[in-house]
Amino acid sequence: MTATKETTAGTIPPRALTGSLGVTAIVLMVVAAAAPLTVIGGAAPLGILLGNGVGFPAMFAIAAIVLLFFAVGLAAMTRHVPKPGAFFTFVNYGLGKPAGLATAFLALLTYTTIQVSVHGYVGYILSVTVTGVGGPDLPWYLYSLAVVALVGVLGYRHIDLSSKVLGVLLIGEVGIVLVLVAAVVIAGGADGLSLAPFEPNNVLSGSPSVGLMFAIAAFIGFESTAIFRDEAKDPARTIPRATYVAVVGIGVFYTLASWALVMAWGPDGVVAQAAEDPGAMILITTLKYLGSVGELVMNVLLITSMLACVLSFHNVITRYQHSMSTAKVLPDVLSSVHPKHFAPHVSSVVQTVTAGLLVVLFALLGLDPILQVFTWFSGVATLSVALLMAVTSIAVVVYFARTKRDRRLWNTVIAPSLGFVGLLVSATMIGLNFPFLIGDVNAAGEPAFGVLTAVLLGLIVLFPLAGLLQALWLRRNRPAVYAQITEAIGA
C-alpha cells in the first residue's frame, strides 16, 4: 500500500514503498547482484592470469575483510537513520546535501554501468549459445534487448516476485559451484590439496594490486541492502543482518570456489590453464571434473547468473530513483507506487527504457559486447563503487561524531575508518590500473592513459559534479525544496 505525506513545497506528496522482505530475501537479491557464478567463471580466471596467480583466492578474503569494516559502519547508520537510499541518504546525513547529491548521481552511474555491461555480456553469451546448438545466428544486441524486456516485466511487479525468481536462480548457480568444489576435493585436485593460495609468497607474487582490483569488483551489489529498507520486515534488524550475511557469505564463497579452481589445475598449472582460455576456464574445469552433463548445466547457469544480476541491479536502480524522487531531486512521477504491485513501477519503466536505449546506442556504435561494452563499463562501475564506499565510510564517522547518537567506538569510528583506508587504497590502485582494466592500450599493446581512459574517467567526475551543481542551484533558487531534501528521503 502507499503512504502519503504533505510537503512544505506544496508538491505532489511522495509515496513510500512497503513490504515484508526478510533477511533471506534481501540477501538473495544483493548476492544475485554480485553474480557469484559469473565472478568465478569470469573474474577469477582473469585475476589468476593478470593478478597474483596462485595467490588470487586470498584477494577475495582480503577484500571481504575491508568491506566488512565498511559494512559495520553501514549497519550502524541503518539503525539510526531509518530511511532508504543507502549512499545517497547516509552521505546526506553525514556530509551534507551537496555531497549527498553528488554521491547520488555517482551511484546512479555506478549501478547503471554495471547493469548495462552485464546486458552486453549476457547478449553475447546467449547469441553464441543459441548459434552453437543450431539456432539462428542473431546479433548479440537482440538477445540483450530481450533480456531488458524480461527484466522490465519482473521489475514492474511486486518485489516478492523478483526475490523468488532470484532465489531460484541463485540457488542453482551456487549449487553447481559447490558441487564442482566437492568434486575437486574428492578427486584431490591435480596435484593434491594445499593452502598454497594463502602462502605470503604467492599472495604477494605477480600483481597483487590488479588481483585486489578484480576482487573488489566482484563484491559490487552487496552494499545495496539499505536500499530495500522500506520493503523490509523489521528493517532495524533485517538490514544490518542482511548486510553482514551478504558480505561474509560472498567472501567465503568466492574464496572457497577460487581455491578449488586453483586446486583443480594445481599451483604449477593453473596460470597456464587460465592463459589458454580464461573465458572458458570454468567450463573446461567442469567438464574435467563433472563431465559433459555438468558442463551443460554450468553453461546454462552462467546465463541465468547474469539474468539474476541484471534483475537485481534493475531493482536497485529503480529504488534509488524512487528515493531521489521522494527527496525532490528527480521528477516526482518517479516516486509513484503501483496500487496493485506496490512497486515503483514508473521508475522501473524508466530504468527499462534507459537500459534499452543504451543497448541500442552501443549497437549503432558497433561496440563489441565483451571487449568494449562489458569491459569499459564494468571498469567504470568498479572505480565508482570503491569511491562511493570510501566517501560513505567518512560520512558515517562524521555523522556519529556530530550527533553522538551511537557511542560504540568500534561501530562508529574504528571499523568505518579502517574501511575508509582500505577502500581509499583500493580506489587508488584501481585508478592507477584503470587503463589496464578497460583495455586502453598504446601501439605497443601496453596500458596507457589515452582518450578512452579520459572519457570514462570523465564520467566519474561529471556525474557527481552534476549532483553538486544541482544542490547549489536548489539552495539558491528553491530553498524550500533544498531544506527538505534530507527529511523527505524515505518519507
- Quick check: is 28 in a domain? yes
The pLDDT, as a whole number, for residue 112 is 92
Grid coordinates representing 81 are: 537513520
Q: How far is CA 242 from CA 58, 75, 90, 201, 392, in A?
A: 24, 9, 18, 35, 18
- Quick check: is 330 in a domain? yes
Q: How far apart are CA 18 and CA 438, in angstroms?
A: 39
- pLDDT digit string, tens, across residues 305-334: 888 888 888 888 888 888 788 777 888 777
**Beta carbons of 154 and 164 less than 8 angstroms apart:** no
The pLDDT, as a whole number, for residue 81 is 80
- pLDDT digit string, tens, across residues 35-92: 888 899 888 998 999 889 999 999 999 999 999 999 999 888 888 887 655 677 889 8
The more confidently predicted of residues 444 and 264 is 264
Q: Residue 17 phi/psi, 5° resolution?
A: -85, 150
Q: Please report, to the nearest 10 degrees, the dihedral formed by the alpha carbons of residues 36, 351, 144, 139 taken in order.
A: -150
Residue 161 pLDDT class (50, 70, 90 cuts): low
The pLDDT, as a whole number, for residue 3 is 38
Q: At what angle do helices 97-132 and 451-477 cross, to 10 degrees?
A: 140
Please spell the DSSP secondary structure of 54-88, one letter per residue. GGHHHHHHHHHHHHHHHHHHHHHHHHHS--S-THH
- Judged against a pLDDT cut of 60, whether residue 14 lies above it is answered with no
Give the residue-averaged pLDDT of 185-195: 94
- pLDDT digit string, tens, across residues 376-404: 998 899 999 999 999 999 999 999 999 99
Residue 134 pLDDT class (50, 70, 90 cuts): confident
- Judged against a pLDDT cut of 50, whether residue 1 lies above it is answered with no
Residue 225 pLDDT class (50, 70, 90 cuts): confident
- Quick check: is 15 in a domain? no
Instruction: Report the mean per-residue pLDDT for the chain.
Output: 85
Grid coordinates representing 265 are: 589445475
Residue 20 pLDDT class (50, 70, 90 cuts): low
**Beta carbons of 436 and 447 less than 8 angstroms apart:** yes
Q: Residue 232 phi/psi, 5° resolution?
A: -95, 150
Give the residue-averaged pLDDT of 196-208: 94
- Quick check: is 2 in a domain? no
Please spell the DSSP secondary structure of 334-395, one letter per residue. GG---TTT-S-HHHHHHHHHHHHHHHHHHHHTT--IIIIIIHHHHHHHHHHHHHHHHHHHHH
- Quick check: is 10 in a domain? no
- Quick check: is 272 in a domain? yes
- pLDDT digit string, tens, across residues 234-260: 777 788 888 888 899 999 999 999 999
The pLDDT, as a whole number, for residue 54 is 96
Domain range for residue 153? Answer: 23-488
Give the residue-averaged pLDDT of 134-154: 91
- Quick check: is 16 in a domain? no
The pLDDT, as a whole number, for residue 341 is 56
Number of independent structural domains in the chain: 1
Give the residue-averaged pLDDT of 346-355: 90
- Judged against a pLDDT cut of 80, whether residue 490 lies above it is answered with no
Residue 217 pLDDT class (50, 70, 90 cuts): confident
**Beta carbons of 74 and 392 less than 8 angstroms apart:** yes
The pLDDT, as a whole number, for residue 482 is 85
Q: What is the CATH number of the domain that holds 475?
A: 1.20.1740.10
- Quick check: is 13 in a domain? no
Query: Quick one: which of 38, 223, 220 has its CA closest to 113?
Result: 220
Give the residue-averaged pLDDT of 364-385: 90
Largest CA distance in the chain: 71
Q: How far apart are CA 23 and CA 234, in angstroms?
A: 10
